[in-house]
Amino acid sequence: MSYLKLSASLAYFLILGFGAILILHKAISLTTIMQIFSILAILIIASSKFVLPHIKNPAKTIVIFVALAPAVFLINLLILTTNLIFSPFIILTHFFAIGTAFLISPQIAVTYIASTLIILVIQLATSQALVPLVSNSPLLALLYLISYAGLVPFLFILAKQYKFKEEWAQILEKQIATSQVQEEQLLRNIDEAVVVIDPTFSILYINQKARELFRFGSEVLRKDFYKVFSLKDTDGRDLYSYSLPFDEIIKSKLPQILKDLQIAGLDKKFIKVGLRIIPAITAEGPLGLILVIYDKTSKALEVKKQQNTIDAALSKFIFFLENQKNSIESLKTASDTARLLAQNERLTHLAEDFVYALRLQSGEIGSLSNLVDLGLVLQSVIDFQRKKAQTFSVILEIPTAQSQYRPIMPKTKITIATKHKIFPEVYVIGNEVWIKDSVERILELAFRVSVKKSIVILSLEVEGDLAKIVIKCFRTMVSEGQAAALFEEFSPQLSNLTQLSWTTGLEGYIARSLLARMGAHIFVESKESLNFTITFGLHSPATEQV
């Protein structure tokens, strides 16, 4: 706080003190004074309830400062009229100083103590009536004055703890616009190590558990997360800034969990951890990320581990389905058995997709990112998908010129050996398993909505800084609006489409969710054909080693 503000605060309290002395010299009646105080008290109570909540800092602090004037005035009058430091009301100055430290700041409280001491000393020096009291009990008078000196450090300690808790509460209650589920997760996991970082990955806050776990303190605040922490995967391979899905989580506003990591602080001693990443988003934009770190080496965590309810329910469900399948197979009636087994398989698929979608929504599914060759991913699925297309009486093709592209690299310092492929080499940052799963799900939907004997083309394109996986359906049974609804959960627009009756209703939603977690997007557009376009950015985060 600037010296100018402290000087103004000291002058303010001195004016109130000398104003009380002046009133006493003017012999204004106590009744008049109390009436004035009563009116002021009513105004202050009313304004604190109806006006003060709508005023923001720093104006709010100034209003509180001015509103304290009647209280300061009354305390001064009580002390001045009842033997100064020997007054039974002298304790009110201590209480007022503590309250000022909480409401405004400990520095302002110190200026109040200083002004009180100045007024008391001046009055003691000028009041002949108090000379006998001081001369009879000089030690007592000295102790009263020393008590103010002991109050100063106490104010700073109390105010520091109060302000810390108040600021943390504001972060949780006012600034972080997470969903109710995310807030419950945050409160439930607050006993774990917590690191808060801003959108540029500078460390804003570390709790006591994190300080103890990694053996550092406030010196790491405002430092880059990747320069403070080193990370490896479960097999001991180094992870880089692009390996962690921080950028994707900020963009998608969806939490993720990375279950198997190794992390080290400045001491470079790695421990096995799990990492929950919760985005902090407001209407104005992203505030950053809250990283909740679970120490897997802790015995306490092992005690807390329980089988996930969803997984347990799924296991039980599949167990009953397996029993049902065994019973059906024992019937030995070929036609009925085949039909019932197919229904059984669809039911299993529905249960798996349902649980998968729930886990995506809760943030339980997370993954590390790496450099992925989209061409290699498409090449790995093309043969199987061609056979699958035949089951829907659809022909899956690729453009004849696909293999003529030169390799497209992300804008990093990484060099990659190239080789001939069916699709061009286009490298993006993502998770290979998720990309493959998403493409396969979208292809199945494309096969289902296409007219029999029609052609579906799968291609990989580059446009500016974007890599595009394009699935073109030339003859379909759905409109563009209905096709867009394929990526929603159980969309009612699709309920009457018989070709989708045996889908789970979650294929498109799961694909869209997985792509969003990697910073990718899915678009549906109708031109000469109905196109499903998946876009990835070719710009990658810096590949600085963590």
Strands (E), 142-269: 193-197, 203-206, 230-233, 256-264
Dist CA 111 CA 116 (whole Å): 9
DSSP secondary structure letter of residue 171: I
What value does the mean pLDDT take over residues 336-358?
Answer: 69
Answer for the pair 206, 220: CB distance below 8 angstroms, yes or no.
yes
Q: Which helix (H) or strand (E) holds 468?
A: strand 466-473
Dist CA 360 CA 344 (whole Å): 24
Dist CA 128 CA 124 (whole Å): 8
pLDDT given at position 190: 60
Answer for the pair 289, 246: CB distance below 8 angstroms, yes or no.
yes
pLDDT-derived band of residue 363, with 50, 70 and 90 as boundaries? low
Give the 3-state secondary structure of residue 20: helix
Whether residue 192 has pLDDT greater than 70: yes
Using a CB cutoff of 8 Å and minimum separation of 24, what contacts does 395-401 make? 395/453, 395/454, 395/455, 395/456, 396/443, 396/447, 396/455, 396/456, 396/457, 396/458, 397/455, 397/456, 397/457, 397/458, 398/422, 398/423, 398/457, 398/458, 398/459, 399/457, 399/459
Which of the residue ranges 36-40, 80-84, 318-322 would you say has the lowest mean pLDDT? Answer: 318-322
pLDDT-derived band of residue 184, with 50, 70 and 90 as boundaries? very low
* Paired sense of beta strands 395-397 and 455-463, if any: parallel
Answer for the pair 267, 259: CB distance below 8 angstroms, yes or no.
no
Q: Which residue has the higher pLDDT, 424 or 187?
A: 424
Q: Using omega within 30 degrees of 0 as the cis cutoff, is the peptide bond preceding 424 cis?
A: no
Whether residue 316 has pLDDT greater than 80: no
Answer for the pair 486, 508: CB distance below 8 angstroms, yes or no.
yes
Which of the residue ranges 27-36, 443-452, 473-482 would you say has the lowest mean pLDDT? Answer: 27-36
pLDDT given at position 366: 67
Dist CA 81 CA 447 (whole Å): 93
Strands (E), 227-295: 230-233, 256-264, 271-282, 285-295
What value does the mean pLDDT take over residues 476-488?
Answer: 85
Positive or negative torsion for Cα 340, 342, 347, 348? positive
Q: Which residue has the higher pLDDT, 364 or 516?
A: 516
Close Cβ partners of 291 (under 8 Å, ≥ 6 residues apart)? 194, 195, 196, 197, 275, 276, 277, 278
Tokens 């939907």 locate to 445
Whether residue 467 has pLDDT greater than 80: yes
CB atoms within 10 A of CB 108: 23
Positive or negative torsion for Cα 32, 36, 37, 42? positive
pLDDT given at position 149: 79
Averaged pLDDT score across all residues of the chain: 77
In the chain, DSSP finds a helix count (H) and a strand count (E) of 19, 13
What value does the mean pLDDT take over residues 397-406?
Answer: 65
Dist CA 176 CA 455 (whole Å): 48
Whether residue 347 has pLDDT greater than 80: no
Structure tokens at 455: 């052609």
Dist CA 6 CA 110 (whole Å): 9
The percent of residues in the chain predicted with pLDDT above 90, rounded, is 9
Dist CA 533 CA 523 (whole Å): 5
Tokens 């998770």 locate to 431
What value does the mean pLDDT take over residues 324-341?
Answer: 63
Beta partners for residue 282, in sequence order: 285
pLDDT given at position 394: 93
Dist CA 277 CA 252 (whole Å): 12
pLDDT-derived band of residue 435, with 50, 70 and 90 as boundaries? very high
Dist CA 20 CA 78 (whole Å): 10
pLDDT per residue over 69-93, tens digit each? 878 888 888 888 777 777 788 888 8
pLDDT given at position 179: 45
pLDDT given at position 302: 45
What value does the mean pLDDT take over residues 166-173?
Answer: 57
pLDDT-derived band of residue 173, with 50, 70 and 90 as boundaries? low
pLDDT per residue over 194-237, tens digit each? 888 988 889 988 888 888 888 888 888 889 998 899 888 888 88
Q: DSSP characters for 512-545?
A: HHHHHHTT-EEEEEESSSEEEEEEEES------B
Structure tokens at 505: 């209703």
Dist CA 13 CA 181 (whole Å): 48
pLDDT given at position 178: 46
Dist CA 485 CA 507 (whole Å): 11
pLDDT given at position 442: 93
What value does the mean pLDDT take over residues 53-70?
Answer: 72
What value does the mean pLDDT take over residues 426-449?
Answer: 90
pLDDT-derived band of residue 25, with 50, 70 and 90 as boundaries? confident
* Paired sense of beta strands 455-463 and 466-473, if any: antiparallel
Whether residue 298 has pLDDT greater than 80: no
What value does the mean pLDDT take over residues 498-510?
Answer: 79
pLDDT-derived band of residue 259, with 50, 70 and 90 as boundaries? confident
| CA 180 centroid distance within chain | 12
What value does the mean pLDDT take over residues 277-283?
Answer: 77
Whether residue 462 has pLDDT greater than 80: yes
**What are residue 92's phi and psi, to 5 degrees?**
-65, -30
pLDDT-derived band of residue 450, with 50, 70 and 90 as boundaries? very high
